Amino acid sequence: MEFKKLLEERSADLWENFIPTLSIDCVIFSFHDNELQVLTLKLKNLDTWGLPGGYVKKIENVDDAAVRILKERTGTENVYLQQFYTFGKMNRSENAFEEFDNTLWHKQRFISIGYYALAEHSHVNLYMDEFSSAVKWHSLDNLPEFMMDHRIIFDKALMTLREQLNNHPIGYSLLPEKFTMPELQKLYEGILGKKLNRGNFYRKILRYDILVKLDESRKGGAHKAPDLYSFDLEKYNNALKEGLKGSW
């Protein structure tokens, strides 16, 4: 169906069953190919990329709406999901849907509640809904042009990860069960947006006493097989309660 018609058709149901003026936008992070990535959608009528978003039902908890939207729009489920900021500037969605009638639901002023999700890459089965023409992971080193204020929402999510790195199970949620030390370092570098000295990183992360060195190493590859680690979940969770000691 044509995009314009699709939106207009959905509009009546949205006005009836959803809370006006309120939206949710999700920043889904993942770690893949040794880099931090973010999930983006392309709406059928746009050339720029957007974050997966949606609306809250009149009879629905906001947190539940975020879980539903993630699944409906991208197929992502069972991930670590955390509200991080609400975006309330008056003109934040200005110019979107300009060609539509003012009665269109999507043309309202929206105050958007931001959630970040941490997804273990191999667990995500990407799905594309009827509003999207593409769904794609973008490396943080190579971000596309975003629609509306979605770049601001993304930046705030990343800044939140940075601040919460010592208090939330961010590494655990993004990495596979078994990982190498260079992978963990790459993840930290991606979140912090800077290179870290290898020796310092190893010393510091081991001093946290939250890792278990496994009796196996990564098979394949030209180099010496690197050691595999996993998180000691009990120690990790206890350490997060107090906050991991020291900053990067």
Q: Which is nearer to its own copies, 194 or 224 (CB)?
A: 194
Residue 183: CB minimum distance to its own copies, A = 24
Residue 243: CB minimum distance to its own copies, A = 4
Residue 235: CB minimum distance to its own copies, A = 16
Q: Which is nearer to its own copies, 111 or 212 (CB)?
A: 111
Interface contacts to its own copies, rule CB under 8 A: 19-22, 56, 58-63, 65, 83, 85-86, 88-90, 109, 111, 113, 163-164, 166-167, 242-247
Q: Which is nearer to its own copies, 194 or 219 (CB)?
A: 194
Residue 58: CB minimum distance to its own copies, A = 7
Q: Which is nearer to its own copies, 215 or 242 (CB)?
A: 242
SS3 labels along 112-142 = EEEEEEEECHHHCCCCCCCCEEEEEEEECCC
